[in-house]
């Protein structure tokens, strides 16, 4: 993968992570800290925000300007009202990022980006499991 291709991938992921972080922050505004959803979703939101910082660092490391855009995931997620629907949507987004990273990893030579993306991949699938547990706990 060339630096240009890597930059395009990293910016695509940055836009997706920014969308997830912003969406989760908006959803958290609808919860009280006492809600059983609050702490797990706050942790996922923090992962998303942290991933943004890591991606920006990786982009700068290869001399590519980080995108300032937010992915469509944010606006789509704002239209959802039911928590089950929101959690399913979040998991689909987490899985998309995980698959995108998994497909690209074999082609990435830059060790810093490769390491960061592997960690991001793993955290996305851990967050999927966290949300699956929340969904299971909310069943009648």
Say if residues 59 and 14 touch (Cβ distance below 8 Å). yes
User: For position 140, what pLDDT does the model report?
Assistant: 40
Count CB-CB contacts under 10 A for residue 2.
10
User: For position 77, what pLDDT does the model report?
Assistant: 97
What does pTM read for this prediction?
A: 0.94
Among left, alpha and beta (phi > 0; psi -120 to 50; other), residue 61 is: alpha
- What token pair was written down for 116? 């960061």
Q: What span, in angstroms and rounded, lies between the C-alpha atoms of 99 and 93?
A: 10
Residues 6+ apart with CB under 8 A from 97: 13, 16, 17, 20, 120, 124
Count CB-CB contacts under 10 A for residue 46.
13
Average pLDDT for runs of 10 along the chain of length 140: 93 97 96 94 97 96 96 96 94 96 92 92 94 79
User: For position 110, what pLDDT does the model report?
Assistant: 72
Q: Cα 98 to chain center, whole Å?
A: 9
């Amino acid at each position: 993968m060339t630096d240009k291709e890597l930059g395009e991938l990293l910016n695509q992921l940055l836009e997706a992570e920014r969308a997830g972080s912003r969406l989760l922050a908006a959803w958290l505004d609808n919860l009280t800290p006492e809600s059983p959803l609050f702490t797990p979703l706050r942790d996922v939101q923090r992962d998303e925000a942290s991933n943004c910082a890591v991606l920006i660092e990786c982009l700068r490391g290869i001399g590519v300007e980080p995108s300032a855009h937010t992915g469509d995931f944010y606006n789509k997620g704002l239209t959802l009202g039911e928590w089950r629907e929101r959690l399913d949507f979040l998991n689909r987004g987490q899985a998309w990022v995980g698959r995108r990273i998994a497909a690209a990893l074999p082609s990435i030579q830059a060790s810093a980006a490769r390491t960061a993306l592997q960690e991001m991949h793993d955290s996305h699938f851990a967050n999927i499991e966290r949300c699956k547990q929340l969904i299971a706990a909310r069943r009648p």
